[in-house]
Amino acid sequence: MNAVIEPTFWSDPDFDEFSEPLPLYVYLYLISNPSVNALGAYQFSLRRASHDIRMDITDILQTIDQLVKARKVSYDKDSNWMWVHGYFGRQFKVPLSVRKPMIVHVNRMVQSLHADGFPWIKDFESRYRVLLEHFQSSSSTRACARRTGGAIGEEISYSRSFLEFWSQYPKKESKQMAFKSWCRHVDGKVDEAMVIAKAKEFSTACSEDGRERKFIKHPTTWINQHCWDDDYLPHKTTGRSKTLEELKAEHRQHP
């Protein structure tokens, strides 16, 4: 991860409270050391830091405490988790050509924070909610863009909205074909939540009228035909349908 450090760093008023250069020196290491990632949330090694910046571990800890009190970082001594506040937002200001390769990696790193027990995950997601939603949306769009044609056996990165649709639709066949249709007809073109809701209505209608599987539309067909525009209100029945034998008996009585 190549950190972007703006020239204005050295005149940042947020650091005016420090009268000594040491906090700036250590902070600069925290945003540029080999372990830092795009999120600014990583496992911090005191031993490695001591070697890299030629400082005693005790001095590093004291300086980090200053940065914690100034709300520049969060540090958990027991788990060695380090979170550099504001780092993620600053890295997102880099040119678009640099941001694009980060999209998939950022989403994976956020998932890893959940899995690895990052202590401030709720605060992190709350602080960067809008930014994370942008990455997730971009990831969905890029996933669709890649599915216009792919090699056999290539791993598919399904968008979250499609997977939700897939979980609701009553007939699950040819998932990759359905996703390609989703990208062409739904993604970024219509209200995805509405399409998912209509798929759920369609599934309910199929269950209520006991529709056989062979009469349920293929999901690709349902998407291609924009069947979310159809009505799926339950059909009302007036009673039990007459059997063929009953109809024949009526015919004999009233030829």
Query: How many CB atoms within 10 Å of residue 245?
Result: 8
Report the alpha-carbon distance of residue 54 to residue 202 in Å, rounded.
66
Instruction: Give domain limits for the chain.
Output: 7-142, 152-255
Q: Please list the residues that pair with 43 across neighbouring strands.
A: 81
| Multiple choice CATH, 7-142, 1.10.1760, 1.10.3470, 2.60.40, 1.10.10 | 1.10.10
Q: Along the 255 residues of the chain, how does pLDDT read in single tens digits? A: 556 677 777 777 878 888 889 999 999 999 999 999 888 999 999 999 999 999 999 999 999 999 999 999 999 999 999 999 988 877 665 444 445 556 667 777 888 998 999 999 999 888 877 666 665 555 555 556 555 444 434 456 788 888 999 999 999 998 888 988 888 888 878 888 999 999 999 999 999 888 898 899 999 999 999 999 998 865 554 445 556 566 666 656 655
Which of 203, 184, 97 has its CA nearest to residue 144? 184
Tell me which H or E stretch contains 41. Answer: strand 41-43
DSSP 136-162: HHHHHHHHHHHTTS--TTPPP---HHH
The token duo for 15 is 């650091």
Overall pTM surpassing 0.85 (yes/no): no
Residue 228 DSSP symbol:
G
Q: Quickly tell me which residue has 């250590």 as its tokens.
A: 26
Q: Please list the residues that pair with 12 across neighbouring strands.
A: none
Which of 159, 153, 197, 152 has its CA nearest to residue 178? 159
Which of 211, 202, 195 has its CA nearest to residue 162? 195
Tell me which H or E stretch contains 73. Answer: strand 73-76
